Each structure stands twice: as C-alpha cells, then as structure tokens.
Amino acid sequence: MCVPPEAILMAIQIGGKYAAYQDKKTKYRTDVAANAVAAKNASRSLHQDYGQIDYQKSEAVSEKVRETVRTISETLNKLDKVNADNFVGQAIKEHGKGRVTGLKQKEQKEMLENTPFVEFLGLEALTSDEGFSCRLCFREQHIGNPLLRTFHGGILASFAEITAALYLMESLNLVEEPLCSSMTFDYLRPAFAGTIRAEPCIVRAGRRFVVVSVDVYLDKTLVSIGRFIYSR
C-alpha cells in the first residue's frame, strides 16, 4: 500500500501538535501543584503569625489581670489590721450566711419617711447578725376583724411586700424602690393584735427577674408567706 506523502506530512504535524499539547498540559499541572503548595505554605505561615499575635495578646491581658490582682491585694494588706485572704474569706462566709453588706440605709430611711402609706403602716427595718428583717407593731388602724382584733389581710401583704423591697435595696445596692410585677400571698392562720416580724430571703436572682420570699411571724408563729417577683 502506498501512502501519499501529504498524509505522512499531516500525521507528523498532528503528532507534533499533540506532543506540544501534552507538554503544556503537564506544565499546567506542575504549575497548579506548585501554586497549591505555595498557597498552603503561605496559609500555614499566616496562621502561625496570627497565632503568635493572639498568644502575645493573651499573655499581655493575663499579665494585666495578674498586676491588677497584685495591686488589690497590696492595697488591702496596707490597711490597718486587714489581710487580703481574711478579707475575702470573711466576705464569702457572710455571703454564705445570707447576710447583706453595704447597706443602703440612707435610701431605706428616705423610703420609710417619704412614703405616706409606709408611714401609715409604721414598720421598722432591723439589721442584726441574724440578717435583715422588719417589724410592725399593731395599731387600731390595722384591724381587719374588730371582733377578733386581727390584722387586716391587706396590711399583712403590704407589710411583706415593703419588706421585700427594702431587702432588695440592700442586697442589690439599689438607690430606688424596686417595682413588684407579681405576687402571691398565703394566709396560714389569723394574725392577732401584737408585734409581727417579716423575714425576707432571695429565692432566685436571674438576669430579668428576682424572686423574694417573705415569712411573716407573730411572736414565733408563722402566720403568712409571700412570694414577690421584681423586674430587673
């Protein structure tokens, strides 16, 4: 079989073009691989630099915190007969007992003296080693049942709510009277004429609401229990 010279020449040209195409393809793949390696190395280097920066920042912040703690401890230790460890330990001990420090006595006094209804009730706020409480002595205006001479239910509930508000002013260091958004009050037994005492405690202190429970006693007998919810 005789192959025309033109066909041989065309085959040679096609082969050359295919070989050039394969060379370009191989070079392209090599360049892509090299670029990928370079990009990966650059990314790793960048992360290492950022990591070093973050580490340096965290070390700087930690050092500031340590310096602040040292300054506070040194300041406390310089006070007369005060040791930083004892100071913190005493604060934790008092907090565990449910005691309140940093009393807002000025604001409490203004509330007791400047609120007509509170003045009408005649309650007295008391603070002792056992905690915070309020006392209310019986008046003729407090009578709910003239025959039995017992406290009116509204007087008891109001007395408990004001006690809870005064307690929150102490425990949360408030300068204004908190607003009660909801309450429940259980009357367990009649509160006859005498001196009643209200003992509050915080049941739950969340970011939006604070729940305060108040037990009302006549002498040593529990006569009513109130639950008050305050918005923060």
The residue-averaged pLDDT of 19-33 equals 69
**Residue 117 pLDDT grade (very low, low, confident, very high; cuts 50, 70, 90):** confident
Q: What is the pLDDT of residue 100?
A: 39
Number of helices and strands (H, E) in the chain? 5, 8
**Residue 98 pLDDT grade (very low, low, confident, very high; cuts 50, 70, 90):** very low
71 vs 191, more confident:
191
Contact 226, 210 (CB under 8 A): no
The residue-averaged pLDDT of 156-160 equals 96
If 0-12 CB within 10 Å is exposed, 13-18 middle and 19+ buried, where does residue 213 land? middle
Side chain identity at residue 114, one-letter code: N
191 vs 72, more confident:
191
Q: What angle (nearest 5°) sits at the alpha carbon of residue 125, between those of residues 119 and 128?
A: 170
46-75: per-residue pLDDT in tens?
Answer: 555 555 555 455 566 566 666 666 666 666
Q: What is the pLDDT of residue 115?
A: 79
| Model confidence pTM above 0.85 | no
Q: CA-CA distance, 88 to 131, in Å (whole number)?
A: 19
Per-chain mean pLDDT for the chain: 75
Q: What is the pLDDT of residue 129?
A: 81
* 3-state helix/strand/coil string of 109-152: HHHHHHCHHHHHHCCEEEEECCEEEEEEECCHHHEEECCCCEEC
195 vs 40, more confident:
195
Determine which of 66-80, 177-191, 210-224 has the lowest per-residue pLDDT on average: 66-80
Q: Distances from the Cα of 134 to the Cαs of 74, 125, 169, 216, in angstroms?
A: 39, 4, 14, 9
